[in-house]
């Protein structure tokens, strides 16, 4: 008989019972590269001149700006790999505000703050709301968003 289910899973995310309003975490940081930009715009079709032409004359931003969607997905990747791996059930709502451009060569990271935990009436689940503030290497906020997710609860015996 295999009893491996009693061994904790490496990288397991947090269950809603582990969360409380006001808890905060810092994500790891990541430097955005030219390869990241090229791969992202090719995968998504975001072939806008400001992203594909270095020094685009019609652009309002100096340097190599990256789509806000790329910034968001890098931070969500950190959150998925740590906070919600195996416990995240659904993204229910997202409100996002871009505060400043992110350029190739910038290093981004975020602070995640739990702002709400509301258990549902069935299924051992909860609606969890968090505020995510993304900053660059200078500590300047570049994006803020709130995410409302459905998270699983701890298994009951």
Task: Write out the DSSP string of 30-89.
Answer: EE--HHHHHHHHHHHT---HHHHSTT-TT-SSSS-B--HHHHHHHHHHHHHHHTSTTTEE
Q: Is position 40 within any domain? A: yes
Structural domain including 84 reads 14-152
Q: Is position 3 within any domain? A: no
- Cα angle for residues 32, 35, 39 (degrees, 5° grid): 105
pLDDT of amino acid 19: 96
Among 5-9, 27-31, 98-102, which is the least confidently predicted range? 5-9
Q: Is position 96 within any domain? A: yes
Which CATH number is 35's domain given?
A: 3.10.129.10
Residue with tokens 């975020």: 110
Per-residue model confidence as pLDDT tens digits over 63-106: 899 999 999 999 999 999 999 999 999 999 999 999 999 999 99
Per-residue model confidence as pLDDT tens digits over 111-148: 999 999 999 998 899 999 999 999 999 999 999 999 99
Q: Is position 2 within any domain? A: no
Residue 142: in which H helix or E strand, if any?
A: strand 141-152
Q: Is position 142 within any domain? A: yes
Total number of domains in the chain: 1
Q: Is position 157 within any domain? A: no
Q: Is position 148 within any domain? A: yes
Enter the pTM of the model: 0.91
pLDDT of amino acid 11: 86
């Amino acid at each position: 008989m295999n009893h491996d289910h009693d061994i904790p899973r490496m990288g397991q995310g947090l269950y809603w019972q582990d969360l409380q309003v006001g808890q905060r975490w810092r994500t790891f940081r990541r430097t955005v590269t030219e390869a990241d930009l090229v791969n992202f715009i090719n995968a998504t079709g975001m072939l806008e001149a400001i992203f594909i032409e270095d020094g685009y004359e019609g652009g309002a931003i100096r340097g190599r700006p990256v789509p806000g969607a790329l910034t968001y997905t890098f931070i969500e990747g950190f959150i998925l790999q740590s906070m919600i791996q195996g416990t995240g059930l659904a993204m229910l709502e997202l409100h996002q505000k871009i505060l400043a451009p992110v350029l190739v060569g910038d290093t981004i990271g975020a602070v995640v703050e739990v702002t709400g935990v509301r258990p549902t009436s069935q299924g051992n689940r909860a609606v969890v709301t968090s505020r995510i503030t993304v900053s660059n290497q200078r500590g300047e906020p570049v994006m803020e968003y709130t995410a409302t997710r459905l998270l699983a609860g701890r298994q009951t015996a």
